[in-house]
Structure formats: C-alpha cells, structure tokens
C-alpha cells in the first residue's frame, strides 16, 4: 500500500468495494466521511476503532455539499467497504532521527520525490508492518496505541542502551525505547523487533545485552531480527561506517547460534534471527526450514531464501521432466545471492531438460558495489550488464526490483523500456518458488 497525497488530511473516499455495506448505502468516490457516531475521524486508527461497533451513525458529505446521515447495523468488527484516498486519513509522520545508518541519507540526488520521504509513523506499523523507532511519539500517542490495542507493533530497536541509541539515532528522545516497550508489554501488545547492526557500534557485548533485555519481555516480543547496515557510495559528509564482511558476518552467525540455543532451552523458541545476508556473506549454510519457526520476520529478509528453496523443491517434486521448447534464459539476481541461485538452478535443470539457464549477477553501479541485494538493482544497471549476453530468449527478474504495483525500476526506467532496449522479453516473478516454476513452465511451452 502506497501512501498517496501525504499532505491530504480530509477523509476523502477514493473507492467503494462492490457489494459492501457502503456500496449498498449508495456511497461514492468523492464523498467525504465527516464523523462516526458523532466523533470526528482524525486518522485511520480512529476509523478502525470506531468502525468496529455493530451500530454506526455515519455523517457523509457529498461533493455537492449535501450532508447525509446514515444508520448502519452490522456484525461487530465487520468492515463497511470504504477505501480512502490517503490510507492514513492524515499526514504521515516524518522521521525526526538522523540515524548514522539511514539508507535514505545515502541516496543520490534527482531520484523521484517519494523515495526521499522518511516515515516513522506508528499507524504505518499497524497498517503495513513498517518498523518504527518510537522517537516522535508523545505520551498521549503511546496511551492511544494501548487504548486502541494496536497490535502487532514493529519496532526498530537497534540497542536498548539509552546513551548508545541517542548516539546512533541522533535524537535526544531515542533513549526511551525500552521504557516504551515495557509499557506495551504491560498492556500485552504483540511486538516484533528489528536491529540494524553496525560493526563496532551496536554489535558484540552491546548486541548481547540488547537481546537479553528484549528477552525479558518475551511474552509479548515474539521475535527479533538482526539485519546488516546497508552502505551506498553516497556517504559524503556522513560518518564512516564499515560494512560487514565474511569474517564479521561469520562472527555474528556464531553469536546468533549461541543465543538461539540458549533461548530455545529457556522459552522453546529461538527468539532472535539473523537475516539471509549474513549467511550469504559468511558462506555459512542456511538454517533448516523448520528452524525459522514460521518465518515471523520474513519482510526483514529472514528466511526468504530458505522459504524460496523449499517452495522450489516442493514445486519440482510435483512435475515430471519437461522437454518443452529449447530456450536460453537468464535469471537475474544481486551479487549477494549468486551462489545461492546457482544451487537453485542446478535443481531446476534436472526437470527442465531443454532450458539453457544462466544466472546473471548484476553489480550495483548505481548505489555502489557494497549494495548487493536484488531489490536495489536499477533498470540501467540491469540493461547495461545484460547487453553482453547473446542469444537470450527470456529474462526473469524478481518483482522486488520494481516499484510496488508498477513496472518501474528505482531509477524510473520502465520494464517496457528495458525490454525495448534489450529486445528480449523480461518476466518479473514474485519471490515465490511455486509461482516461479509456473512462470518457467509457461516460458517453455
């Protein structure tokens, strides 16, 4: 879900779901929601809370200025089918931190405006799963989260050391995070935590202390993800940060393994998980599928590779050998996952006999070669590095390379333009093993 019209604060209705209560009542695009049960709706949290009742009185203003008052009887928590122009029904809160590792501060100039917007909004955590720092929240807003029982809350912790967190986030309010987490814990709100790990800053003993602090709240903190800091070549006037390498990533995996063994005995869960990047950097084999415990931190890249591998193997086990059309295809990836994807392709080739498959790692010249993940590959890097590959019939890319919901790369080159430049069909596939095998089957038939 993309936040449209960030400055829009009116409760303007963009769409009505067909067959919904709102549709039956004759609500239309362009109408404005004024109040529910006499209470003005200030944002999406108010809306979700107020709309849950089984009896509602809606005040709706039509584009003509006419005001309708509508009575609704429905099931408790039943949605009424309104889609707002701005999903937050309010301005999104801008991040006030100056984090030493902020990726947006490392973007080059002249990219599209929305890429430079830093959100740090608890409502986006509730709606979209965004991770927030809790640094720009008043006591009243924290009490409101507790009152409305917003859960799960996804929190970027980084460290529970107050002084260190203030230093890392460059915000005087940053040191309060553990106190806020304890409030959420006492209110029995579900929490997921994230730690962006910076070598020689919040790793080592600091990391161990942070994880142990979070473990003390383990009845409500369900999982902790550790992800490595991302560093682009655009760090002029920013403090020096070292990226992780094979040695430091290996050390981190050893630390996490030790923690997991301890917490598995204490609480029956591994509790803390390292992102896939650490395993790729260290060249240590990924943990087993079951050890990810249902993949609670999937969006943080924790277990994404193991899940994809599992799905590929499962999908391949259900099909016979496929001869199909003889074709030469390229599977594009970031440099980080190159060896991993080669292993995946070796399994695919056992079933797809007539496919000549190349795994093509794209070096990230746009952000710098320290950025190695597929999701940050630009269209121009893709095109320039695929031009040297002759006689390709098809190119497969992960859809994470494209803007959510649109066929546009980060540098605003469109998928259509990339296809025209290369003269080769490019298929964007979800990072889903079953759907990827389906796409391969379609490509050879």
Domain boundaries, given as residue ranges, for the chain:
13-84, 104-302, 309-444
pLDDT (tens digit per residue) in 12-71: 888 899 999 999 999 999 899 889 999 888 777 778 878 888 899 999 999 898 999 999
- In the prediction, which pLDDT does 124 show? 53
Q: Which two tokens stand for residue 222?
A: 């369900």
pLDDT (tens digit per residue) in 257-276: 999 999 999 999 999 999 99
| 299 three-state secondary structure | helix
Alpha-carbon span 149 to 54, nearest angstrom: 18
**What is the average pLDDT score of the chain?**
88
Q: Which two tokens stand for residue 419?
A: 């296809």
- In the prediction, which pLDDT does 362 show? 96
**Per-residue pLDDT band at 6 (split at 50, 70, 90):** very low
Mean pLDDT of 438-442: 86
| 273 three-state secondary structure | strand
- In the prediction, which pLDDT does 5 show? 37
pLDDT (tens digit per residue) in 124-153: 545 555 788 888 888 888 888 888 787 788
Cβ-contact 373, 403 below 8 angstroms: no
User: Which is nearest to 100 in space by CA: 176, 42, 187, 164?
Assistant: 164
Cβ-contact 335, 427 below 8 angstroms: no
Strands 355-362 and 327-334: parallel
User: Which is nearest to 99 in space by CA: 192, 178, 199, 174?
Assistant: 174
Q: Which two tokens stand for residue 423?
A: 């003269």
Question: Which of the following CATH numbers is that of domain 13-84: 3.40.250.10, 3.90.660.10, 2.30.42.10, 1.10.3430.10?
Answer: 2.30.42.10
Is the domain spanning 309-444 CATH 3.30.70? The answer is no
CATH, range 104-302: 3.80.30
pLDDT (tens digit per residue) in 345-388: 999 998 888 889 999 999 999 999 999 999 999 999 999 999 98
Q: What is the CA radius of gyration of the chain?
A: 24
- In the prediction, which pLDDT does 261 show? 97
Mean pLDDT of 176-186: 96
Residues 6+ apart with CB under 8 A from 316: 347, 348, 350, 351, 437
For the cut 90, the answer to whether the pLDDT of residue 105 exceeds it is no
For the cut 80, the answer to whether the pLDDT of residue 226 exceeds it is yes
Alpha-carbon span 100 to 164, nearest angstrom: 11
């Amino acid at each position: 879900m993309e936040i449209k019209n960030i400055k829009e604060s009116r409760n303007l209705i963009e769409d009505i779901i067909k067959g919904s209560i709102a549709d039956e009542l004759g609500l239309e695009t362009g109408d404005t929601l004024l109040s529910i049960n006499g209470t003005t709706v200030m944002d999406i949290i108010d809306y979700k809370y107020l709309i849950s009742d089984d009896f509602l009185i809606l005040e709706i203003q039509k584009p003509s200025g006419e005001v309708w008052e509508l009575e609704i009887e429905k099931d408790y928590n039943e949605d009424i089918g309104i889609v707002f122009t701005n999903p937050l029904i309010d301005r999104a809160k801008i991040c006030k931190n100056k984090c030493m590792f902020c990726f947006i501060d490392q973007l080059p100039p002249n990219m599209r405006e929305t890429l430079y917007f830093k959100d740090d909004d608890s409502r986006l955590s509730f709606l979209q799963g965004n991770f927030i720092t809790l640094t720009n929240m008043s006591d009243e807003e924290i009490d409101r989260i507790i009152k409305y029982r917003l859960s799960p809350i996804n929190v970027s912790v980084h460290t529970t050391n107050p002084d260190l967190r203030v230093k890392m986030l460059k915000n005087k309010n940053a040191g309060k995070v553990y106190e806020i987490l304890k409030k959420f814990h006492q209110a029995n709100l579900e929490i997921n935590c994230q730690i962006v790990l910076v070598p020689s800053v919040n790793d080592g003993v600091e990391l161990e202390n942070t994880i142990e602090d979070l473990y003390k709240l383990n009845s409500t903190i369900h999982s902790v993800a550790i992800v490595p800091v991302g560093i682009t070549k655009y760090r002029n006037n920013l403090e020096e940060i070292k990226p992780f390498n094979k040695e430091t990533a290996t050390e981190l995996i050893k630390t996490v393994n030790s923690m997991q063994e301890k917490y598995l005995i204490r609480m029956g869960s591994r509790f803390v998980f390292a992102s896939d990047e650490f395993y790729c950097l260290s060249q240590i084999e990924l943990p087993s599928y079951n050890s990810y415990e249902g993949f609670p931190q999937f969006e943080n890249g924790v277990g994404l590779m193991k899940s994809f591998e599992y799905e590929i193997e499962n999908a391949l086990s259900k099909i016979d050998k496929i001869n199909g059309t003889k074709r030469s295809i390229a599977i594009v990836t970031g440099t980080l996952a190159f060896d991993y994807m080669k292993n995946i392709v070796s399994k695919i080739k056992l079933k797809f006999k007539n496919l000549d498959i190349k795994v093509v790692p794209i070096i990230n010249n746009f952000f710098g070669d320290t950025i190695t993940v597929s999701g940050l590959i630009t269209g121009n890097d893709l095109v320039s590095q695929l031009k040297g590959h002759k006689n390709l019939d098809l190119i497969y890319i992960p859809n994470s390379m494209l803007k959510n919901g649109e066929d546009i790369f980060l540098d605003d080159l469109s998928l259509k333009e990339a296809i025209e430049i290369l003269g080769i069909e490019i298929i964007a596939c979800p990072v889903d093993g079953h759907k990827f095998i389906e796409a391969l089957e379609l490509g050879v038939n």
